[in-house]
Amino acid sequence: MKTFRALSALLLYPQPDLIAALDEIETAIDSEGCVPRVQRKQFRRLLDDLRTGDIYDLQEEYLLLFDRTRSLSLHLFEHVHGESRDRGQALVDLKFVYESRGLAVDTAELPDFLPIFLEFLSLLPKSEALAMLAEPAHVFAALAERLAKRESAYESVFRILLAIAQAKPDASALDALRKEADPAPDDLAALDAAWEEEAVSFGPAQGGCSDELSAKLRQGRRPAPGVEAQIRAARQGGAVASNS
């Protein structure tokens, strides 16, 4: 779906080449008719903001929203695994899925960066793409709510993704995200506190390895949620190819 690639571009850091491509992006999205009518007005506002805004103001807004504010991170596993060991394994799994389907991630960004994820979905058959898009629906819903609180037109991108996925976000997962800290962009102390990592102890606790550490190590070997089927299919395909 061209819409995934177009939305991927809109979530990138604003650069002159992105602004120059807005008409092409809009045409691609309109041609597939995936944007629900209820989201069109806000979506047009995002396009208009990008077309008419000062490039430096647009870049400052983007950085403040998506780079500075942890609760708005465009790295999907930030909202699923945080800084736990699970995230490393999840990233490995996701990169494996990408490469098994022909997407080489030649970028400094991690594979869970949403624009890369959407680029990957654009390469898949529609049914597979929608199934994968539905997995992080609770993350999209939380991001949409947080952007709405800031009156940001970027909210429309996440509302569109939810509409295309046609999936109801997992209620408990969404509720957990709603309970997380979501500081205002001008509260620098709170923003810094949100990025602080918990200390991780690699040595044994008194009397031996703690149950919590053991549990995290076990969880770190599990596939990332939402990509297990893709991983199995990719590995089975590799085994067939090696035996042929």
Query: Does some domain include residue 201?
Result: no
Query: Does some domain include residue 189?
Result: no
Q: Mean pLDDT lowest for which of 3-17, 57-71, 81-95?
A: 81-95
Residue 235 has pLDDT above 70, yes or no: no
Long-range contacts from 74-79, C-beta under 8 angstroms, 24+ separation? 74/11, 74/113, 74/114, 74/115, 75/110, 75/112, 75/113, 75/114, 76/112, 76/113, 76/114, 76/117, 76/136, 76/139, 77/112, 77/224, 78/112, 79/136, 79/139, 79/142, 79/143, 79/177
Q: Considering its fold, how many domains does the chain have in total?
A: 1
Tell me what the mean pLDDT of segment 38-66 comes to: 93
Query: Does some domain include residue 190?
Result: no
Residue 55 has pLDDT above 90, yes or no: yes
User: pLDDT tens digits for 124-153?
Assistant: 999 999 999 999 999 999 999 999 999 999
Residue 61 has pLDDT above 80, yes or no: yes
Quote the DSSP letter at residue 173: H
Query: Does some domain include residue 120?
Result: yes
Domain span at residue 30 reads 2-180+206-243
Query: Does some domain include residue 42?
Result: yes
| 158 C-beta neighbours (distance < 10 Å), count | 24
Residue 171 confidence class, pLDDT cut points 50, 70, 90: very high
Residue 216 confidence class, pLDDT cut points 50, 70, 90: very low
Q: Quote the radius of gyration of the chain (alpha carbons, Å).
A: 19
Rounded to the nearest integer, the mean pLDDT of the chain is: 77
Query: Does some domain include residue 110?
Result: yes
Strands, E, within the chain: which ranges? Answer: none
Query: Does some domain include residue 231?
Result: yes
Query: Does some domain include residue 193?
Result: no
DSSP H or E stretch at residue 93: helix 85-100
